[in-house]
Structure 1
Amino acid sequence: MPLYRDEGVVLRTRKLGEADRIVTLLTRQRGLLRAVAKGVRRTSSKFGARLEPFMVADVQCFEGRTLDTITQAVTLGAYGPPISVDYDRYRAASVMVETAERLSDGAPAENQYTLLVGALRTLAAGKIVPDLVRDGYLLRAMSLAGWTPGFDDCVRCGAPGPHTLVTVQLGGVVCEECRVPGAPRLDPASIDLLRALLVGDWDRAVASDERARGQAAGIASAFTQWHLERGLRSLNAHANRSR
């Protein structure tokens, strides 16, 4: 049918002509969708603000030959404003939506959509440190995509843990016999934090210290970029800026 409805998260936008935008959304039913929103850059636009990054909307679209056109948008989750006014939240959300786009550039994946909406909702609420929300999202998104990291038994030989050596290329912790040259040794608290982030145990995650968070963030970032087979622009840009 030429006219359809779906709900989606706005991942990014770019200008088109003088008043239009191309909006990239991750939708519940259709997966990744790129559609034109006509006139949304005009101050008189009725739904331009509903199609900003990190917003969740129910959209009505008309199928086109190359790009579909968004004809209506109703806000389902106004996460854009509280995220965009805080740099740390914005930085975390940028990494999350770029990851979602990279993982969803294919068949629809409703579980990825649901995970991203929940992560943006948590981020917008501001009750959990943005970096923890980001790292938890990265680990769980990669797990949904089929790359579940292992932080208990040795991922190479199965030797019972606990282990503190991590090899991203092998997918998690390894024992002393299976160690790879250059593999970092993490604090036990950092391994525990990675376990908590993977299952969404926020009580344990929030109780972690700064050292554990820093080590866990490095593993979450490296694990994600290894499996995506190239760096995340948003993650690397923010890392360079903080140097």
Structure 2
Amino acid sequence: MALIKVQGVVLKSMDLNDNDKIITLYTDKLGKVKAVAHGAKKQSSKLMASTQPFCFGEFLLYKGKSLYTLKESSINESFQELLLDFDKIIYGSYFIELIDGISEDENKNVSLLALLLKTLYILKDTDTNLDLLKLTFNFKAISLSGYMPNVKTCVRCKKDLDCGYFSIIQGGMICSKCFTPERDIYGINKETLTFLRILKNIKLEDLRDINYNKKTLLYVETIMDNYLNYYIGAEFKSQMLIKKLKKK
């Protein structure tokens, strides 16, 4: 029985039966995997704490016919402070749901794991605007997963732009000459395009230093939510909860 030691974050934890769980991990060596955690539902189990969503730790796994089995684990960071803040737990849930949604099983992407961890630490330790953090996380996650929209040039004629239209179907900006009416297309002025380009390139730790217009942020957030839904093919539960939060 070959054992493999990985570092990873628990994306999801589901009951298998009265005693056992199936967890979804995003790991450094294997990418996204599912593992059975025998006895993890028991109060006395050493696996109970480390199999909660958000938990970052080390996991000792072995592969069965269809699933991995978790043999041992240790916690590096539980992120349990998020549970004390309703808004943060909703946004944190969004981050792990997005990683789950855009990742294929056993497709390793160490940069995506690093992005998730950095985002969760910023969420836990700072008062960064949650919508700005979510929007920047979206840009970086889809870029690392191969879905990055073109916000530099027209996707049709390759002309440099300072305004135009954003097409979800075409995957980026379209100039006024190439524009044709279609569904899911948004007008983009110079200020909005500048903001899109900032989000694409900014470091997460620098978010609190940027100036932004709240209306522009909400407009771009709507575009990116629809962009993600189009390419992933689903809307996350946490995404719907965030929309409800905004209506309060």
Shared topology, TM-score over 0.5?
Answer: yes
- Equivalent residue number for residue 123 of structure 2: 123
Deviation at 1:219, TM superposition (A): 1.7
Aligned length: 242
Of the structure 1 ranges 226-235 and 157-166, higher mean CA displacement relative to structure 2 is found in 226-235
CA pair 77-206 structure 1, distance change in 2 beyond 3 A:
farther
RMSD: 2.3
Deviation at 1:157, TM superposition (A): 1.4
Contact 2:14–2:21 (Cα < 8 Å) also in 1: yes
CA distance in 2, matches of 1:44, 1:63: 25
CA distance in 1, matches of 2:27, 2:141: 16
- Equivalent residue number for residue 91 of structure 2: 92
Q: Does 1:165 align with 2:165?
A: yes
Deviation at 1:167, TM superposition (A): 1.3
Of the structure 1 ranges 54-63 and 89-98, higher mean CA displacement relative to structure 2 is found in 89-98
CA distance in 2, matches of 1:49, 1:31: 22
Deviation at 1:188, TM superposition (A): 3.4
- What is the DSSP-based 3-state SS (H/G/I as helix, E as strand, rest coil) of the residue aligned with 2:169? helix
- Equivalent residue number for residue 198 of structure 2: 196
- Equivalent residue number for residue 7 of structure 2: 7
Q: Structure 2-normalised TM-score?
A: 0.86
**Percent identity between the aligned chains?**
24
Deviation at 1:165, TM superposition (A): 2.1
Q: What aligned pairs does 1:94-113 form with structure 2 within 5 A after superposition?
A: 94-106=93-105, 107-113=107-113
Residue identity in the other structure for 2:17: G
Contact 2:133–2:207 (Cα < 8 Å) also in 1: no
Residue identity in the other structure for 1:90: I
- Equivalent residue number for residue 214 of structure 1: 218
Residue identity in the other structure for 1:211: K
Q: What aligned pairs does 1:135-154 form with structure 2 within 5 A after superposition?
A: 135-154=135-154
CA pair 105-46 structure 1, distance change in 2 beyond 3 A:
same
Contact 2:20–2:41 (Cα < 8 Å) also in 1: yes
Contact 1:61–1:71 (Cα < 8 Å) also in 2: yes
Of the structure 1 ranges 201-210 and 139-148, higher mean CA displacement relative to structure 2 is found in 201-210
CA distance in 1, matches of 2:164, 2:90: 29
- Ranges in structure 1 where 5+ consecutive residues have no aligned partner: none
CA distance in 2, matches of 1:216, 1:158: 22
